[in-house]
A and B are shown apart, each in its own frame.
Chain A
Amino acid sequence: MNEAKRKLLNKRYRAEANFKLFGQIAIGLALLFLAVFMYKIFSKGYTAFQKTWIVTEVHYDKELMLIETDNPSLEDLENADYYDIAYKAMTRLDPSLPEEDDRQLIQMVAFTYEQEVKNHLLKNPSLLGKIVPIRLTASDDLDQVHKGNYPRDIPEEDRRVNDYQLKIYDILNERGDILSKFNLSFFTNPDSREAELAGIASSFMGTVFSILVCLAFSFPIAVLAAIYLEEFAPKNKFTDFIEVNINNLAAVPSIVFGLLGLGVLLAVFNLPRSTPLVGGITLSLMTLPTIIIAARASLKAVPPSIREAALAMGASNMQTTMHHTVPLSMPGTLSGTIIGLAQALGETAPLILIGMVAFVNTIPGTPVDPAASLPVQIYIWSESAERGFVEKVSACIMVLLGFLILMNLAAQIIRHKFERKWN
């Protein structure tokens, strides 16, 4: 081997080594960004899955509750007055406090504390007349203090928790009367103005309904369109034109579809505003081209030899398509559909335009009830000034990401399980 040839060979090896190195750097950077992103979200959000409670004692005093009968029915308990006993349950925490400052104690729990006292009794009517321990949802500010997210060293007038409340908190904490438990209500409560009560139930259901509506509208239309274009339509200028426009449609910014939903679905067809029905139809406009493109690609991937085999057996075009081509293309179509839906899942802009950004404090039971959606919920909470919502934003992102990961996983599994190797 002469010198020139050896140099050339070394150069070729070096080029390959460099290429590999750059590839590894690129992947390393991508993983690093992902790790930083995940760390930020998890470190901020994991506390949202814990809820802080204050333990106190409540005396279910019949007189204060204005119950006159000896054997009160459930209805009587339902209609009883809980204001006084709930109030007393809180002031009991510091009997030495002058009456005019009682609000300071009341502010340490969620404004629904009276309801919580009531619900506790309704669940166990036998507690009537007794003095029992009860746990009440702590206010979001106290919750943040307990989780260590609230700085205690800033001047008192800048703090939403004053020195007195901190003192009571410290005493209670010492006694073990501050509890931290899994935050179930984050998943079962609808949105609320109070961070300690706000949950994702309404936006989660809104997202589920939107996606179902989106699937119901986009999948049949897209698959039929794809089958027609791929298997039946003549190849001419007109179908080329359609193909170009489907690809264009896939590239249209989603906010434009939101305007379309606003202008057509709401203004012309008068569909109910802020509902998953309208949201789902709007999203299906976005998903439609994605599914058409995926379905056509997987129809194209069915080898022509299968079509020829069926045609040569005397199957009609329709039979060839329905018996052979379409079933063979289904795994690809389905995973394309799921990916399209996963994109729709994260869409925010079009939903804001059709009014799914409204504050919804009920859980939707049908697609025509007003609802928010997970990404819009993230948007709404991130606009809130209260500290308690910061962790909620991250927690909601985690739920959305979990949803997305599940869907992409499903797409992967379908693709792998049903993937055919053509020999």
Chain B
Amino acid sequence: MRGNGTNMTKISAKNVNVFYGSKQALFDVSLDIMDKEVTALIGPSGCGKSTFLRCLNRMNDVIDICKVEGSIKMDELELNSRKLDVVRLRENVGMVFQKPNPFPKTIYENVSYGPTIHGMAQSKSELDQIVEMSLKKAALWEEVKDRLDEIGTGLSGGQQQRLCIARAISVSPEVILMDEPCSALDPIATAQIEELIDDLKKEHTIVIVTHSMSQAARVSQKTGFFHLGKLIEFGDTEKIFKNPDNQQTQDYITGRFG
């Protein structure tokens, strides 16, 4: 699968170290994420790929004992800085979680929440438009357009996850982070989400953490392999899966461990 990337670096991480209390979770991770491409992060459980992902929208701030060192630049903005306004950052970097977590509110309210708190719509009709656009982009519009006032948690698992994607793209973020977005879904819902990811990369830079190597191979242009908190290998997806430089990567993708 070829990327349509602009060959511009969107996010550049340099020597990122993360500590949970005295335990170090990431060791000197450096990688560049290209604009309008899908970057997949793979590796066995506990390897630090989710931790790295959560550095990109500062969700690690929620954890008191978590400390991040190093430099993460998005365009020219230093993300790992005390002065950074995390509310503004998260407006630009959306996130989709492992378990679908729609708000226990209506479908409409789920999608309109972001635009409302960020003051993106001047009128009700403008808001309606944003909601419709977002649901269409998330390939959910046709299924829910007649029941926007139903509770979001009443949808099926796959629909809930697409609702979460619609919610994430409602504020038109430049970057979307996905933390194992299909791990709770069945194969059909997974295929729908993967198709969606392919569409979304036209307008958004996507970083996806996944346990499924075939998924990484299908959706991504770049892949990073993490093991025990270290980035073992990072490069074009094709190369990583066909001809990795590192023996550990080779072992992992051929299923010899992990």
Contact = CB atoms under 8 A, between A and B. Distances in A.
A120 to B, nearest CB: 62
Given A235-B64, A308-B59, A324-B103, A315 B117 contact: yes
Contact of B117 (A312, A313, A420): A313
Contacts of B59: 308, 311-312
B95 interface: yes
A310 B91 CA distance: 11
Contact of B94 (A303, A305, A312, A423): A312
A303 B117 CA distance: 21
A283 interface: no
Contacts of A306: 101, 103-104
Contact of B114 (A235, A314, A324): A314
Contacts of B90: 311-314
B239 interface: no
Interface in B101-159: 101-104, 113-114, 117-118, 153
B97 A309 contact: yes
A366 interface: no
Contacts of B89: 314
A309 B87 contact: no
Interface string A311-322: 111111001000
Interface in B44-87: 57, 59, 62, 64, 87
B104 A420 contact: yes
Interface residues of B, number: 26
A309 B88 contact: no
Contact of A311 (B62, B102, B103): B62
B202 interface: no
Nearest to A304: B62
A239 to B, nearest CB: 12
B164 interface: yes
Contact of A313 (B62, B104, B114): B114
Interface size class of A (residues with CB under 8 A): 20 to 34
Nearest to A303: B101
Contact of B88 (A234, A314, A423): A314
Contact of A314 (B64, B87, B101): B87
Secondary structure of the A side of the interface?
helix
A54 interface: no
B169 to A, nearest CB: 11
A303 B101 CA distance: 10
Contacts of A312: 57, 59, 90, 94-95, 97, 168
Contacts of B104: 306, 328, 420
Interface in A63-106: none
B167 interface: yes
A306 B62 CA distance: 13
Contact of B97 (A305, A323, A423): A305
A324 B117 CA distance: 13
A188 to B, nearest CB: 47
Q: Name the residue among A307, A310, A311, A323 with the largest chain B CB count within 10 angstroms.
A: A311
A196 to B, nearest CB: 57
A312 B167 CA distance: 10
B165 interface: no
A235 B117 CA distance: 28
Contacts of B102: 309
Contacts of A307: 62
B99 interface: yes
Contacts of B62: 307-308, 311
Interface in A267-318: 303, 305-316
A314 B91 CA distance: 5
B65 to A, nearest CB: 10
A314 B117 contact: yes
Nearest to B57: A312
Contacts of A314: 87-91, 114, 117-118, 171
Q: Name the residue among B88, B99, B103 with the largest chain A CB count within 10 angstroms.
A: B103
Contacts of B87: 314-316
Nearest to B109: A323
A305 B102 CA distance: 9
Contacts of A328: 104
Nearest to A302: B104
B127 to A, nearest CB: 15
Q: Name the residue among A314, A319, A323 with the largest chain B CB count within 10 angstroms.
A: A314
A197 B104 CA distance: 56
B101 A313 contact: no
A312 B171 CA distance: 11
A312 B103 CA distance: 12
Interface string A123-154: 00000000000000000000000000000000
Given A235-B64, A313-B90, A308 B117 contact: no
A57 B172 CA distance: 90
Contacts of A310: 103, 113
Given A308-B97, A324-B103, A423-B153, A313 B64 contact: no
A234 B95 CA distance: 26
A323 B87 CA distance: 16
A309 B103 contact: yes
A313 B167 CA distance: 8
A309 B117 contact: no
B234 to A, nearest CB: 25
Contacts of A234: 64
In the complex, the 3 A-B pairs of residues with the closest C-beta atoms, listed nearest first? A314-B90, A305-B101, A312-B95
13 contacts: A305-B99, A306-B101, A308-B97, A309-B102, A310-B103, A310-B113, A312-B57, A312-B94, A313-B90, A313-B94, A314-B114, A323-B117, A420-B104
Given A234-B64, A311-B90, 18 more contacts: A305-B97, A305-B101, A306-B104, A307-B62, A308-B59, A308-B62, A308-B101, A309-B97, A309-B164, A311-B59, A312-B59, A312-B94, A312-B95, A312-B168, A315-B87, A315-B113, A319-B117, A323-B117
